Structure 1
Amino acid sequence: MAGRQDTAVTRDRILETARELFGANTYRASSMREIAARLGIAKPSLYHHFSSKAEILEQLLEAPIEALGAAVEAAAGEPDADEARRRLLRDCIAVMITHQDVMRLLLRDASIYSDDSMQLVGTVVATVDRATAILAGPGADWRRRLRAAQAFAAATDPVGRFPDAPVEALREALFLGAMAILDLD
């Protein structure tokens, strides 16, 4: 039992260290050697837990991307279109704020986009497309779809730029800005 617990603690430490390094140096500029050195472990020990830097990135992004997908699907189940839009924005903003450090990588570090991350990127693109469709509503013309894309970006993209903002104030400002773009109360 202790062995599994030690493994879980080590994996968590690796993920936290990688998140810090990726955030400070970019994904591409951070190496497995640097992660291992920062942890004070041998590089082969690091490979015991993760087969590659790409696998570490996937683990970091997995939970927030799944949470975004769940938020989008929950909103899709709302019978009232305006309530679906409100719920989608609130829930997606909540995910972005909860996972602010990791989502900053997704939104601000172009080096994460490589052949190793194409499946992950595909999932994100599909989630954003689904969110935009919900915000636009059924049968939307290109202008409404454009407004929906702008609203989703306004609700999610700025999160990583304001790590010092009070959480509730940031949440409210993002929501109100996106709602204004959609012309919703």
Structure 2
Amino acid sequence: MADAAQTRQRILDIALELFTERGFAGTSVADLAGRLGTSKAALYHHFRSKNEILAALLEAPTRRFDELVAQASELTDEQLLGRVVDLTAELFAVAGVLDGDPSVQAAQRAQLLDRSRDINQALTAALVAPPGDADARLRAHAAYAAAKHGTLAAVADLGTTELPATSRTALVTAALRALHPAG
């Protein structure tokens, strides 16, 4: 069973590489099988289609965001915003496949947007203290936006989703300053 899970993960890793290099439409199942050193039939044993591979790629980081939502009340603001930075960088790597590739189904884009909207609202709400305070809510939105959009800008500028520790720290610090401005 562990072998099947490892094989699925290897397929996803290779698919992400190829989709990033060639685009979703420019990558065939034969390309995937070739890079994996296996047959198309073996690949189809794990995934029914290329679209299913893409869906699995998108599911992993969004599932981790869902897990973060579930844990949010147990985390400090710094921990929560740090995880937002980490997961945003991870999602950027996968979501980049969606950008500029009209062959990717609109339904997958819409599903990702809907989930993203729900996650954004839940995580922003977790940062609001005290609850019901309009100014605190605005600061929570600013902090979440600083963490998320700052990360998107950083990975675009750096050309990698592997943020250096100093960049991660700077992003979390900026988000915390938005949430808790000095008197």
Instruction: Give the conservation status (yes or no) of the 8 Å contact 2:14–2:32.
Output: yes
Shift in alpha-carbon separation, 1:177–1:61, aligned structure 2, 3 A: same
Question: What percent of counterpart residues are identical?
Answer: 31
Which residue type is aligned with residue 165 of structure 2? E
- Number of paired residues? 174
| Cα shift at 1:181 | 3.3
In the superposition, the TM-score normalised over structure 2's length comes to 0.72
Question: What is the one-letter code of the residue matched to 2:83?
Answer: D
Aligned-partner Cα distance in 2 for 1:104–1:180: 27
Pick the aligned partner of 1:125 from 93, 117, 129: 117
Structure 1 unmatched ranges of 5 or more: none
Distance 1:118 1:32 in 2: 24
Partner of 1:62: 59
Question: Greater CA deviation, 173-182 or 14-23?
Answer: 173-182
CA distance in 1, matches of 2:143, 2:179: 7
Report if the CA contact (8 A) 1:22-1:105 is conserved.
no
Residue in 1 that maps onto 2:83 = 91
- RMSD between superposed Cα atoms in Å: 3.2
Residue 13 of structure 2 is matched in structure 1 by 16
What one-letter code is carried by the residue in structure 2 that aligns with 1:104? A
CA distance in 1, matches of 2:3, 2:56: 18
> Deviation above 6 Å: which 4+ runs of structure 1?
none
Are 1:114 and 2:103 matched, yes or no?
A: no
**Contact 1:93–1:175 at 8 Å: present in 2 too?**
yes
Given the two structures, how large is their TM-score scaled by the length of structure 1?
Answer: 0.71
One-letter identity of the residue aligned with 1:160: V
When residues 113 and 159 of structure 1 are mapped into structure 2, their CA distance, relative to the original with a 3 A threshold, is farther
Question: What letter is aligned with 1:42?
Answer: S
Q: Which residue does the alignment assign to 2:173?
A: 176
